[in-house]
Amino acid sequence: MGSKYTSLLKEKLSEASYAKLMKLENEKVNDFIGSFAKHCNPASIYICDDSKADEEYIKAKALEIGEEFQLAKKGQTIHWDGYGDQARDKVNTRYMVYKENLENMKSLNSVEYEKGYAEIMGIAENIMEGKDTVVKFFCEGPAHSEFTIPCVQFTDSWYVAHSEAILYRPGYEHFLKMQKKDDFFSFIHSAGELDERNTSVNIDKRRIYMDTQNNIVYSMNAQYAGNSIGLKKHSMRLAINKSGKEGWLCEHMFLMAAIDKDKKRRTYFAGAYPSACGKTSTAMIPGEEIVGDDIVYFRNINGEFRGVNVEQGIFGIIKDVNAEDDPVIFDNLMIEQEIIYSNVLRGPDNNPYWLGSGLDTPKKGDNHSGKDWYEGKKDANGNEIPVAHGNARYTMRLDYLENFDKKGFDAKDGVVVEGILYGGRDSDTSVPVEESATWEDGILIKACTLESETTSATLGKEGVRNPSPMANMDFVSYPLGEYTKNNIDFVKGMKQIPKVFSTNYFLRDENGKFCNDKLAKKVWLHWAEGRIHNEYEAFDTPNGKIPLFKDLKVLFKKHLDYDYTEAEYTYQFTFRCTKWIEKLERSKAYFKKMDAHAPAFIFEKWDKQIAKIEKAKAKFGNEIKPGVYKA
């Protein structure tokens, strides 16, 4: 196949790599690789197929150049990002938007297309000079499926390529066979100039620019995976935009099966929770099964609401993963198998240690701050540097987990989703579990009102409510109102629409203590599962339906061997009118701020709901006990 970059590609690629590339017979792929081979000027480009040999080559290369280091346990490696590159860069993550669309996108951190393109290409020019680079092909979702989005990554970070090989399904064979050869996502990444620890130097020039019009993401001078791994949140933003145009959904959700062993029944749930609100712990409830913990694609297939896990691995926060609170993950971290640790401590024994691990932690070692960390060490601002970063991570394959639902994961048509969960961090408003009356209510009253409440431990000011509609605001890549409408419209014409539930694991009692143990989420899940199968009656509230005490008493005893009391139930499931009115008013204000052109019906719905709650308050009092409310 001819290409204007043929001679350059032959110069940069080995004979074997060139043959792999030409075998794809894909002119758009050739031009993508060729154009950046010319512009970024790497010393060499290695083309990967799906072979085990190429997978092993990537790992070996990451170790050889010092992007990863071997730990004591076979298969385990450690990577450090630079001290100023420890989390997603929200300021410099921008959408490159054509002038005619800029007004609608101004609240989503956008830059005018030509200006953004000129800046990112200026940064990218010769940025890979002298480096060996790698191109790898992946599939988001199962290969050769209606869900599949093929992706190609071009990077000078072998750590990034290794991480993606763990996290995503291989895609070279898919590229060989796909019919629409020009329909794929492209990612170009460079860690930029490196210091003696092989971490990025020019953090001030870190840029992550996304072109949703042409499905390409540019990431420069970045190493932290959330800024550099194109197939994760970068791809998610492209997919959200694509799904909005094509009538499907990409959501920031887990996908799991609730298992009723007595009835030999599995019921699939998806769920969205803002950071630190219980998303991963819900996906990993003991006794249930997990399909995925982060991103789901949903499609209407033959009138059924079906979903797939986009990924095949976990890029998880490791802080507080310990034998008591997260035994499934912790047990996997303790054995010899392929895991990449990032930004944790490497102790003198060459083992990894992290915050909240429950392990006997060394007083010195190497960590994100450098090779000479010791207990009490301070940074340039006089702040004590902890043993590991609070956002330290582990990268691990899902199929290591004993509760992995391989059948659900492999299903090319996805699994039928019957329940959706939305949960925030809320100390004084929402009940532990509540069912929405309708799908639209679920989106507008449960999903769009999600908030994450700060604690004094994090900001020094307790009770600040951070809006997080659908737990997805960091990644929504077109106007919020339109995105909300697309979520509502998605179920039109479906044979069976999933029930929508809200959960709240953070309700506090009158003494400021959490009302329930961490494992109580298993009870809320199984009440929701029973409601889906018409097994429980429910009391009405102004916002939906709540459990009866008699059913929760049985569920608590069955699943947790706990004697749940009626006093606990009454306090926890009281509907708090004023608090809910305030919550809805905050949601109205946030939507108006984020999208001046949001559809009017959203605000009309909230105004009607506020009026409904005001009416209930006048009739039944500000705090409505379970079973009292009548519509």
Determine the Cα–Cα distance for residues 234 and 155; give it in Å rounded to an integer: 14
**Cβ pair 486, 446 in contact under 8 A:** no
Burial of 410 (0-12, 13-18, 19+ CB in 10 A): exposed
- Tokens at 454, concatenated: 């700060």
Please identify which of the residues 277, 448, 515, 577 carries the catalytic annotation. 277
Q: Which amino acid is at 520?
A: A
| Contact between 203 and 233 (Cβ < 8 Å) | no
DSSP state of 385: P
User: Tokens 């001290």 sit at which residue?
Assistant: 83
Closest CA to 125 of 40, 49, 188, 187: 40
DSSP per position, 452-494? EE--HHHHSSTT-EEE-GGG-TTT--S-HHHHHHHHHHTTTT-
Pair of tokens at residue 544: 């939906």
- Is residue 277 flagged as an active site residue? yes
d(CA 114, CA 36): 18
Q: What is the CA radius of gyration of the chain?
A: 25
Give the whole-angstrom CA distance, residue 192 versus residue 219: 10
Distance CA 41, CA 319 (A): 39
3-state secondary structure string across 350-369 = CCEECCCCCCCCCCEEEECC
CA distances from 6 to 13, 45, 133, 134 (A): 10, 13, 18, 18
- The residue type found at 237 is R
Q: Please list, residue by residue across 288-313, b when 16 or more beta carbons sit within 10 angstroms of its beta carbon and e when fewer do.
A: bbbbbbbbbbbbbeeebbbbbbbbbb
Exposure on the CB side of residue 302, measured as CA atoms within 13 A: 4
User: For residue 316, what are its two tokens?
Assistant: 């998880």
Largest CA-CA distance found in the chain, in angstroms, rounded: 80
By C-alpha distance, which of 436, 556, 414, 448 is closest to 498? 436
Q: Residue 226 and residue 232: Cα distance in Å, rounded?
A: 7
Give the residue numbers marked as catalytic.
277
